[in-house]
Amino acid sequence: MTDLRITLIRHGNTDANNKRILQGHMDSHLTALGVEQARLAGERLASETFDRIYSSDLTRCKQTSRAISAHHPSVPVEWMYELRECTFGDLDGKSISTVFSGGRCDDNFIMEHGGESLEQFASRVRLAFDKLVASSVAKQDKHVLVVTHGGVLQNLGWYWQEILHYKCVRGNGLKSHGNTAITQVVLSQGDITSGKIEFANCNTHLIALPDDVRHLMAETPPPNV
């Protein structure tokens, strides 16, 4: 078995990102900026060789994955419910400031509204990663792309570093991924317990955006929801 390389990317910008709304499982669409971010990400990844693309089945990820897969038309795409953002139940679609204005943001509060606890979400994310790794190894894939959400990537960063003890070679950290920021991990011989983070949260492809847009993105990074 050869090494398995996994490139991961967060979806492009959405109106809910800008309005600081809990997206969760809300099926939001990319803004014009998000479409452009996805296009630039597609250009950056155009020269890569992917065996498979795994993507959250929510529209914002589908739009992002399609902008990338346009450069890889023969690569199969698998939509995975398990790669969705954390759901906050009937709080999905509400503003973050309004929901948490009363000071309650614990698991019980979220679960009372039909959402996932932190552990439920983390467990789902870990199982999704384990599942796609096992599937990729079984199919003898060498390089796969994962298109997902900020909360998922944040949880994966914790899983890799705290549970699997992956070392990060370089990058901007794993706690908060910007829109279309790219992270890459390599599993030696496809072994999930023997991996390293090649780079994290890289958005150099967005240098092509106007200076004022990049400045605004830096000043108001999107929440991981």
Beta strands 4-10; 143-148: pairing state: parallel
Is 85 one of the annotated active-site residues of the chain? yes
Return the closest-CA partner of residue 132 out of 44, 189, 56. Answer: 56
* Amino acid making up residue 179: N
Complete edge-to-edge strand list for the sheet that includes strand 143-148? 77-80, 52-56, 143-148, 4-10, 182-187, 195-202, 167-168
User: Which two three-digit tokens encode residue 127?
Assistant: 């199982």
If you ran DSSP here, which 8-state letter would residue 89 be given?
A: G
DSSP, collapsed to helix, strand or coil, labels residue 85 as coil
CA 73, CA 216: separation in Å to the nearest integer? 33
* Angstrom distance (rounded) from CA 156 to CA 62: 20
Tell me which of 85, 116, 198, 205 is the catalytic residue: 85
Q: Known catalytic residue: 82?
A: no
Burial of residue 189 (CB within 10 Å: 0-12, 13-18, 19+) is: exposed
Catalytic residue among 11, 72, 149, 205: 11
Q: Which residues are part of the catalytic machinery? A: 11, 85
